[in-house]
Structure formats: structure tokens, C-alpha cells
Structure 1
Amino acid sequence: MPLDIGVLLPTSTPDPTRPILGDVRASARFAEEAGLDSVWSTDHLVASGPMLDSTVVLAAASAVTERITVGFNVMLLSLRPVAWAAKQVSSLQHVSGNRLVLGIGTGNPAHGDVAWRATGLSYADRGRRTDEALRVLPDLVAGNRTVLDDGVEVALAPGAAMPPVVIAGNGRAALRRAAAYGDGWASIALPPEDIAAGLAEIARLAGDRPPATATVVGPEVDPDPARTAERLASYEAAGATRVILAPTSPDWHRDYEFAAKVRAAYP
């Protein structure tokens, strides 16, 4: 299959002086009509700039599209009770027609720890909480009776197909987590040779688990779509199956048009 080329929905503002808060419905429709493969929502409770709720964003994007993949880039499981996260995931699978990809991360330190303090949770404990959630999440999403870490037994209804899980992060802990729980691994702006090395390490750690795929978020691009397509081909050669192009300005329409030209130029 050709490399999946996706874009971030205009729902967050890494730089508060350059707001990127646009029309979710219009941007999702445009991405699908332009032939792009996936749209993604960032996730946080209290970030360094404005950010919409990811589950609401993906529900809106799902409602106005039919084909395109919708995904978390990435859900912060450690900020949620795992049963509630599973309910959100299974509901999104239902409303999207099983088009969801579940990116999972532990949080960019640039956003600080205020979101965890606001929810009464430990920032330092977020890695352990993420692992514990990933252990039980598939059964919870599927609607199977599941015993949580505190001994509570629960079955959610309706159940849904568990979406592919993509573990995000460039560090050792993320590689270990991807090997243990992921169908894929997402990295930020790593060069192709590091993608190949990361996939090899995940395969070594994973043992008999199926091999992981790689998603590259924010790869370096060229102003020329054809040259960008050539660069992205090197990621596919390294084992990547998806790239998510980063926004360059508040003008999501211009960024999506560029991504569509890259999609059309891709070999």
C-alpha cells in the first residue's frame, strides 16, 4: 500500500501568538475531498496554548466524512480513568464506522504538569498509569468483563472493535511500550535512518508480537510538493507506513492543499 499522508486538524495552538483554531468540519471535509488519507487531533487538558477536546473534535470530523481515517495524535491516557477513556474510544469507533486510530502518549514536557495537578493525579506516575491502562484497554473497548487495577470489575456496553494502537515518543520508554502494547510507533521528525533503527529495536523487544508499523509526525518538507514526495519515499523505504504533516501557519486550507499536492506527486 502507498504511504498514508495525513494532516493535523486545526484544533490547537502551540504558539499562542499564531492561533490555529479553525473549522473542524470544513477542514475534515476538505481533507477527504482532496484525497488525503487521515486527519488527527491533538489532546490535552491544559496545554501551553488553546486546544479543543480531542474526542469532540474526532466525533465532529467523523460526522462529516465517510472514508478518511480519524486519529488521536495523541491521547493522554494517564489523564483519564481508563474505563472512561475506553468508553470514548468505543463510542468513536461506532460513530466513525471503525475508522479510528488510537495514538497514545504520556505528554510533552513543554506543556508542564498543571493538567495532572488539576485532575489530582501524579505527573511523575504518568508512565506507569499509561502502561496499566494499555493492559486493560482492549478488553474494555471490546465490552469484555474486565478487572481494573483497583479490583473493580466492569463491562462497557456497547463494545466495539479495538482500533490500532500507535505508541508515540522518541525515547527508550516509548520503544518499550510500543513493543509491549502497540500496533505501531509514532515519532516526531526523526530522520529515515532513525526510523529504521527504532523499528528494529521494537522488533527485538517485541519477541513474537507482530511487527510494528511507523508513523512520522512533522517530517521535514520542501516547498516543492514533488521534492517533498521524494523525501517521504525515503521514510517508506525505512519502514514507515504513515506521515502526518505539521501545520505551517494558521491557514489550514493552504497546508491541506500542499499536502494534497504531495499526495498526488507521491510515487
Structure 2
Amino acid sequence: MSLDIGVGLPTTGRGPDRTLLGDVREHAVLAEELGLESVWAADHLIPAAPILDSTIALAAAAGATRRVRLGFGVMVLAMRPLAWAAKQLGTLQHVSGGRVLLGVGTGGVPHGTAGWEAAGVPFAERGPRTDAALGALPGLLAGEPTVLPHEPGAPKITLAPAAAVPPILIGGNGPAALRRAAAYGDGWFPSVITPEALAAGVARLRRLAAERGRARPTVTVGIPAALGGGRGGRAAVAEALSRGYGVPLEQALEIPLAGDRHEAAERLAEYARAGAERAVLMTDLPDWRHHYERVAEVNALLNP
């Protein structure tokens, strides 16, 4: 059973000292050399820990690589002026040779409201603004005359050069994300979710897409990983999930990917059977090189 495997780039301050744990270019090159499918950058303006700008980080990764795909995991699109976001995404498509995977999310409560206040965007409007942005973004990227959302009386604008619209993957686990994925997305991108919950979401997604006469969106799942960290690593990741996302600890203990390569491969196969076509493995462990190498071993078992 095949499953595309991606890894998170070290773009977020982690660990006790909240320092950035690695060079984006070095890690993107390693992921490519190890045969992994994609690398992913987290996105926010003012989260609890330091974070690099996702677009610039992925541009650096693009310049250092030739094959590996470049994913936003996920871009908080509604926080940005849409025309500028489209210009940056189109440019990244050009300089990378069309390797972008555009995850889009609304920026949930765990990240706080400080970034929204700094950007001058009401936090309470993030859902409707995301819908409006998703409706207009493909036209902007394709170089079509487009009216910007929230400016109904303004003239249409056309961005040039046009760029291929990347696959749009809607982040989030709840009903709003499923609705958005069925209405606007090429894919659904839930994270911190069990295979059982994923299977239920995929079934719901298929119904919603069929009601709209759309093909079923693909499914990418984000999974915290502690490969090589043993039981202690799994427990530490679960505790962080419970604190940061409000997941009950008993449930959180079921989520992290841990154990040896065979155990990890079988757990990922459960996600594949639940409907996932791609898994993005994220870690807080300090040894990123070792983590990537362990992920590559699991990838070899899943995709011989």
C-alpha cells in the first residue's frame, strides 16, 4: 500500500530554549536525497514560539532542491492581503518549477489572536474571509481579471505572469474544514487525528463533494512523530498535543507516530486504509537529521 511521505521543515522555535533547530536549505536537500515526497513549512505571524515566514522559507528550499514538493502546512490566507499572497504564491510556483502544495487554514484558537490584531484583520471573520479568498485565489493565480473580496465596487485586477494553480489542501479537522474542502479544495489536510476519526471524515467528505458534483478531494494527514524516541518520546509529544490543542491525554497518546520502522509503517498503513494518500510527519525531537533518516526507512517499507 503506497503513501506519499513528507516531513516538516525546522521553521518553528522548539525545545526549551525556543531556538530554530535547523537550516531550511540543508533539511530540504536531505529530504530530497532520502527520496521523500515533500517538505512543509508551518505558517503564522505571532504564535507562541518564534517562526520563520513560510513563503520565504519554502523559496529557500526551492532554490536548494530540484524535485521535492514544497508544502504550506498551512498558510493562514485570510490574514494576508490576497493580491500580495497570490503574487508570492505565483512567484514561488515559477521559481520552483510548479512544486507548490498550498495548504490553507483559518488559524485556530490555540495560536491566539495577536497575529490577527497585528495584521488588522478581525479574528472572528477568519472563516468567511478564508472562503472569500479561496473563491478568488485561483483566478488571480491564473492571470484572470478578478474582483478582490471585500471590494465589490473596485475594478478587476489581473496579476502577471500567470502561474499554475497549485493543489489547494484545506486544513482543519472539523465540519467547517470538510465543507470548505468539498467546496473549494483539491484536498483535505487534517492533523492530530486518529485513523478512525480520519476514516469518518473521509466518508463525510465524499458525501459533501458528491452533493456538489465535485470529484473527491485527496487526503493529506499531518502526524506528530517521535521516531526513535521510544515510549518517552511518544508521551512527551502526547503531552504537548494535550496542552496545545486541548486533546484529552488518553486520546493524544494514540496519535504520535513512534516505535521502530515496522511499527511506524503499519501505523501509517492504517491511515492509508482510512483514506490518506499523503502523510506529513512533524517532530519536536532535536536531531532532525536522524528523524529524516528514520522517516526514509519507513518510506522504503511503504513504497518499495
TM-score by structure 2 length? 0.85
Report matched runs for 1:128-167 at 5 Å: 128-149=128-149, 150-151=151-152, 152=154, 153-167=156-170
8 Å CA contact 2:12, 2:20 repeated in 1 = yes
**In the alignment, what sits opposite 2:219?**
214
The alpha carbon displacement at 1:14 in A equals 5.1
Letter in 2 for 1:188: S
Give 1:145 shift: 0.7
**Alpha-carbon deviations, 1:104-144, whole Å to 9, x = none?**
00113122101111111101101111000000000001111
Inter-partner Cα distance in structure 1 for 2:260 and 2:19: 25
Counterpart among 284, 294, 298 of residue 248 in structure 1: 284
1:97 and 2:100 equivalent?
Answer: no
- Equivalent position amino acid for 1:213 in 2: T
> Mean alpha-carbon deviation: is it higher for 198-207 or for 124-133?
198-207
Paired positions, count: 267
In the TM superposition, 1:1-267 aligns within 5 A as 2-13=2-13, 17-149=17-149, 150-151=151-152, 152=154, 153-206=156-209, 207=211, 208-218=213-223, 220-266=256-302
Provide the secondary structure at the position in 1 that maps to 2:190: strand
Per the alignment, in what secondary structure is the counterpart of residue 7 of structure 1? strand
Q: Please list the CA deviations of residues 44-69 of structure 1 after superposition, one character each: whole Å capped at 9, or x if unmatched.
A: 11111000000000100011111111
The answer to which of 142-151 and 60-69 deviates more is 142-151
What is the alpha-carbon root mean square deviation over aligned residues?
Answer: 1.4
Unaligned runs of 5+ in 2: 225-255
Unaligned segments of structure 1, at least 5 residues: none
What is the one-letter code of the residue matched to 1:88? Answer: Q
**Counterpart residue type for residue 203 of structure 2:** A
Q: Determine the C-alpha separation between the residues in 2 that align with 1:192 and 1:85.
A: 33
Deviation digits for residues 209-234 of structure 1 (CA, Å, limit 9, x no counterpart): 11011111115312201210111111
CA distance, structure 2, for counterparts of residue 81 and residue 203 of structure 1? 32
